[in-house]
Amino acid sequence: MLCGKIASGKSTLAAELGRVEGTVILVEDDWLHALYADQLSTLPDYRRCTAKLRQAMGPHIISLLKAGLSVVLDFQANTVESRRWMRGLLDQTTASHALHFLDVSDADCLARLQRRNASGAHPFAVTEAQFQQFSQHFVAPTPAEGFHIVTHPGATDS
């Protein structure tokens, strides 16, 4: 599982983690873009569409874990609510887990976001205003949530 603000490097880390044999990467942004691209322009749109996606994907994720596969869940784990959903999935399995927390400054995220938007490689171009809006809801994970947290300090990619 991955926790970090927009453009903190979650998808890059997911790709790295996914190189291990027997690992499946599930990328929320790819699914949202394929299913709901024309419906995503506001935070309420995102909440509505991601709730539908989680409802559909939850049983699939559980079955993958029960089958013994490793799952890199490149879904945002940026709020207590989203991590509660992930915790609920884990609790239905015997799978071990790690919650990777990418602790990157807003300034570094915004610089990365500008490069990402300019490259056109990501399915969504996010404005600085949208970054700020989403970041207002970001809550760093705490041990009280019951996750094994692996913190990745905010190294810049200069």
Q: What is the domain partition of the chain in residue ranges?
A: 2-153
Q: What's residue 77's pLDDT?
A: 94
- Residue 76 pLDDT: 87
pLDDT for 19:
96
Q: What is the pLDDT of residue 51?
A: 94
CA distance 19 to 132: 32
In this structure, are residues 74 and 11 in contact, taking their beta carbons and an 8 Å threshold? yes
Measured distance CA(110)–CA(97) in Å, rounded = 29
Supply the pLDDT for residue 3. Answer: 96
- Using the Cα atoms of residue 78, residue 79, residue 84 and residue 89 in order, give the sign of their dihedral: negative
As a CATH number, domain 2-153 is: 3.40.50.300
Full-model pTM: 0.86
Confidence (pLDDT) at 155: 54
**24 burial level (CB within 10 Å; 0-12, 13-18, 19+):** middle
Q: Supply 5's token pair.
A: 């603000």
DSSP percent split of the chain into helix, strand, coil, nearest 5? 50, 15, 35
**Segments of the chain scoring below 70 in pLDDT:** 123, 155-158
Q: Is residue 131 a contact partner of residue 113, using CB atoms and an 8 Å limit?
A: yes
Alpha-helical (H) ranges within 18-127 are 28-36, 43-66, 80-90, 106-119
Residue 156 pLDDT: 47
Residue 50: count other Cβ atoms within 10 Å of its Cβ. Answer: 20
What residue type is 20 in one-letter code?
V
